[in-house]
């Protein structure tokens, strides 16, 4: 008799598009330590794909790329990306699916052919480059023999020209809604010089091939940073201190091994976690706001001119602060977080609350008396606290985040609650800084028991030094009709949870291991999304 199948969960797909270096990834499955999430890689190999071919002309994507995205089922036949949840139809699909639909994680592994056939060939037997300081983690081999040196700026110009089509294509794909695109670094060249010469119509020693790849990677990394594209570079993990590939990462003399794939996936996760992609869940909050039954849900355009309001909430001082524990980095572990601050919150120590703390905070803030009614007015009726992050301020200035005015959806409000301060302190010193830089900055001294509610589309708060204080960073949002007022702890992530996730049956909040868990996903917000168009080839015309 057959054994009953046992479900082990749903894998999160990672899509990969590119040259033959994608083949080794196809079908590989990885389990994340901590959350236990499973990632499954689906790759689509496009023979001979080069960087220029991704977008051979302004405004178009190549037919090969379009077909690859189609085969991976991440765009529709009409070129519209899936998984972006922008209308009610998609919301219904999302609910039926049991989780929020998400822009897929998509990795491009393209350009290695250009490196070999164009850039390596351009050095030939007579030329060499010298890598600028800091570009290589290795000691750059000296120029050998009597080779002329190609100015690195000239070489860089060539790299930029060659990869122009790739970046143009990625930008078009992102404009169409597939926001989470990543680029893989050029692989480490390791074939023997004789092998390389036999496979190509020219010879180039390994030292120069490594230099070329390092140069390309450095330039791609910079381009990706400028464009908010995650760049996956694994060189530091798979080479020795001279840039030579460690044997266990070799496969067939050319491609990297399955061990290297695992390294790539780890680097990829780091990349996702550190992504500063300018994406938000805006449409979901806006949709939630539209659907919310509470009459007091006003648009923030009606907010007070000051953009903030200070309320008294003495009960904050009675919250069980002793239950707050230092928060761990692993709480960033979920790959679907859209945003993690990077260095802008120095001087803030994030703390983990216990469930009792969360429950008592909810009882305090949503009570029918005390601060409850005032808060409902100040926060314009947002009945869900999507993110409650306890913190302790240390020395130095602290920005609670650096999101620009336009990045906040209209459905959100924020607050800082002050719980405790040393006996000799007058409280948390804050600066209220309007996004309009011409407007005046306001200094606030907030003793324990203060609740500063503010509209993040108008102002942002920065700590103004002072002594160490204990507080909570709060994000208020609207609820869809299925939701009741609640407080959610989203780990250390500053971007609040997803209203649809919490309205779904069996939905959980973060972190999954021991606490509620949320999958927070990025979707385009304020842009019109064109369908992806693709390049018409001669064959198509025929």
Is residue 500 within 8 Å of residue 91, measured between CB atoms? Answer: yes
Q: Does 194 bind other proteins (CB under 8 A)?
A: no
Q: Does 55 bind other proteins (CB under 8 A)?
A: no
Among 43, 55, 84, 118, binds other proteins (CB under 8 A): 118
Nearer to other proteins, 95 or 251 (CB): 251
Of residues 484, 476, 490, the one with CA closest to residue 358: 490
Q: Does 247 bind other proteins (CB under 8 A)?
A: no
- Give Cβ neighbours of residue 68 (< 8 Å, ≥ 6 apart): 17, 44, 46
Of residues 137, 171, 158, the one with CA closest to residue 219: 158
What is the C-alpha separation between 65 and 479, in angstroms, rounded?
39
Q: Does 537 bind other proteins (CB under 8 A)?
A: no
Least CB distance to other proteins at residue 384 (A): 48
Of residues 385, 362, 386, 366, the one with CA closest to residue 375: 366
What is the C-alpha separation between 250 and 247, in angstroms, rounded?
5
Among 78, 133, 443, 514, binds other proteins (CB under 8 A): 133
Q: Does 467 bind other proteins (CB under 8 A)?
A: no
Nearer to other proteins, 153 or 484 (CB): 153
Among 137, 151, 396, 465, binds other proteins (CB under 8 A): 151
- How many CA atoms are closer than 13 Å to the CA of 369, on its beta-carbon side? 0
What is the C-alpha separation between 381 and 479, in angstroms, rounded?
10
Which element (helix H / strand E) includes 171?
helix 152-175
Count of residues touching other proteins (by CB under 8 A): 51
Measured CA to CA in angstroms, residue 104 lies from 46, 283, 383, 402, 495 at distances of 19, 17, 30, 26, 19
Q: Does 252 bind other proteins (CB under 8 A)?
A: yes
3-class secondary structure per residue, 330-360:
HHHCCCCCCCCCCCCCCCEEEEECCHHHHHH
Nearer to other proteins, 131 or 229 (CB): 131
Among 57, 67, 161, 537, binds other proteins (CB under 8 A): 161
Least CB distance to other proteins at residue 12 (A): 23
Strands (E), 478-533: 486-487
Least CB distance to other proteins at residue 201 (A): 8
Q: Does 483 bind other proteins (CB under 8 A)?
A: no
- The bridge status of strand 148-149 relative to strand 428-434 is unpaired
What is the C-alpha separation between 300 and 479, in angstroms, rounded?
16
Nearer to other proteins, 221 or 445 (CB): 221
Q: Does 137 bind other proteins (CB under 8 A)?
A: no
Neighbours of 266 (CB within 10 A): 15
Least CB distance to other proteins at residue 27 (A): 10
Among 44, 94, 101, 114, binds other proteins (CB under 8 A): 114
What is the C-alpha separation between 379 and 29, in angstroms, rounded?
44
Nearer to other proteins, 63 or 251 (CB): 251
Nearer to other proteins, 49 or 388 (CB): 49
Q: Does 276 bind other proteins (CB under 8 A)?
A: no
Among 127, 193, 276, 370, binds other proteins (CB under 8 A): 127
Q: Does 492 bind other proteins (CB under 8 A)?
A: no
Stretch of residues binding other proteins (CB under 8 A), selected from 123-131, 263-271, 274-282, 314-322: 123-131
Among 32, 34, 35, 117, binds other proteins (CB under 8 A): 117
Is residue 515 within 8 Å of residue 95, measured between CB atoms? Answer: no
Q: Does 221 bind other proteins (CB under 8 A)?
A: no
Q: Does 158 bind other proteins (CB under 8 A)?
A: yes
Of residues 186, 205, 196, the one with CA closest to residue 142: 205
Q: And the tokens for 134?
A: 């800091």
Least CB distance to other proteins at residue 166 (A): 12
Stretch of residues binding other proteins (CB under 8 A), selected from 34-42, 63-71, 131-139, 381-389: 131-139
What is the C-alpha separation between 417 and 410, in angstroms, rounded?
21
- Give Cβ neighbours of residue 460 (< 8 Å, ≥ 6 apart): 399, 400, 401, 402, 403, 433, 435, 454
Of residues 287, 337, 280, 293, the one with CA closest to residue 91: 287
Nearer to other proteins, 132 or 373 (CB): 132
Site for other proteins in 84-113 (CB under 8 A): 113
Among 106, 119, 319, 461, binds other proteins (CB under 8 A): 119
Residues in contact with other proteins, shown as a per-residue x/- string from 333 to 372 under the rule CB under 8 A: ----------------------------------------
Of residues 466, 511, 452, 488, the one with CA closest to residue 327: 511
Nearer to other proteins, 236 or 253 (CB): 253
Of residues 202, 235, 228, the one with CA closest to residue 119: 202
Q: And the tokens for 8?
A: 């082990």
Q: Does 52 bind other proteins (CB under 8 A)?
A: yes
Q: Does 222 bind other proteins (CB under 8 A)?
A: no
Among 153, 322, 484, 505, binds other proteins (CB under 8 A): 153
Nearer to other proteins, 108 or 339 (CB): 108
Is residue 523 within 8 Å of residue 281, measured between CB atoms? Answer: yes
3-state secondary structure of 312: strand
Among 195, 199, 225, 436, binds other proteins (CB under 8 A): 199
Using CB under 8 A as the criterion, which residues of the chain lie in contact with other proteins when the complex forms? 19-20, 23-24, 45, 47-48, 50, 52, 113-114, 116-119, 121-124, 126-133, 140, 142-143, 146-154, 157-158, 161-162, 199-200, 251-255, 258
């Amino acid at each position: 008799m057959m054994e009953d199948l046992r479900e082990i969960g749903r894998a999160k797909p990672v899509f990969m598009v590119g040259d033959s270096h994608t083949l080794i990834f196809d079908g590989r499955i990885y389990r994340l330590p901590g959350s236990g999430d499973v990632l499954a890689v689906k790759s689509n190999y496009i023979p001979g794909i080069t960087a220029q071919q991704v977008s051979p002309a302004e405004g178009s994507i190549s037919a090969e790329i379009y077909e690859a995205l189609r085969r991976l089922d991440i765009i529709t036949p009409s070129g519209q990306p899936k998984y972006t949840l922008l209308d009610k139809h998609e919301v219904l699909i999302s609910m039926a699916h049991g989780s929020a639909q998400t822009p897929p994680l998509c990795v491009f592994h393209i350009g290695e052919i250009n490196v070999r056939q164009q850039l390596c060939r351009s050095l030939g037997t007579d030329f060499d480059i010298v890598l600028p300081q800091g570009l290589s983690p290795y000691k750059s081999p000296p120029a050998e023999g009597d080779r002329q040196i190609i100015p690195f700026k000239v070489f860089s110009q060539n790299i930029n020209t060659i990869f122009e089509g790739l970046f143009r294509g990625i930008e078009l794909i992102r404009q169409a809604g597939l926001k989470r695109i990543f680029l893989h670094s050029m692989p480490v060249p390791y074939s023997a010089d004789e092998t390389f010469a036999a496979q190509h119509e020219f010879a180039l020693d390994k030292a120069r091939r490594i230099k070329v790849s390092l140069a390309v990677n450095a330039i791609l990394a910079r381009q990706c940073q400028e464009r908010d594209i995650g760049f996956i570079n694994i060189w530091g993990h798979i080479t020795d201190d001279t840039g030579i590939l460690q044997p266990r990462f070799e496969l067939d003399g050319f491609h990297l091994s399955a061990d290297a794939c695992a390294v790539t996936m780890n680097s990829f996760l780091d990349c996702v976690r550190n992504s500063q992609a300018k994406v938000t869940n805006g449409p979901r909050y806006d949709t939630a706001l539209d659907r919310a039954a509470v009459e007091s849900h006003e648009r923030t355009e009606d907010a007070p001119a000051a953009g903030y309001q200070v309320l008294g909430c003495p009960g904050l001082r009675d919250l069980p602060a002793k239950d707050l524990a230092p928060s761990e980095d692993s709480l960033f572990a979920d790959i679907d977080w859209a945003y993690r601050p990077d260095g802008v919150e120095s001087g803030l120590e994030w703390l983990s609350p216990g469930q009792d703390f969360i429950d008592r905070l909810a009882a305090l803030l949503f009570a029918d008396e005390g601060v409850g009614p005032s808060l409902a007015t100040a926060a314009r009726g947002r009945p869900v606290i999507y993110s409650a992050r306890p913190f302790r301020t240390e020395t130095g200035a602290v920005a609670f985040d650096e999101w620009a005015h336009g990045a906040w959806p209209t459905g959100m409000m924020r607050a800082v609650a002050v719980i405790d301060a040393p006996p000799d302190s007058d409280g948390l010193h804050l600066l209220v800084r309007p996004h309009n830089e011409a407007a005046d900055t306001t200094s606030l001294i907030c003793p324990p028991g203060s609740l500063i509610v503010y509209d993040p589309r108008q102002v942002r708060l920065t700590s103004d030094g002072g002594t160490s204080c204990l507080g909570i960073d709060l994000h208020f949002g609207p609820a869809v009709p299925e939701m009741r007022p609640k407080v959610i702890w989203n780990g250390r992530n500053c971007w609040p949870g997803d209203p649809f996730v919490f309205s779904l049956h069996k939905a959980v909040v973060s972190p999954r291991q021991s606490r509620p868990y949320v999958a927070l996903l990025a979707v385009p917000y304020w842009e019109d999304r064109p369908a992806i168009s693709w390049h018409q080839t001669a064959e198509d015309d025929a």
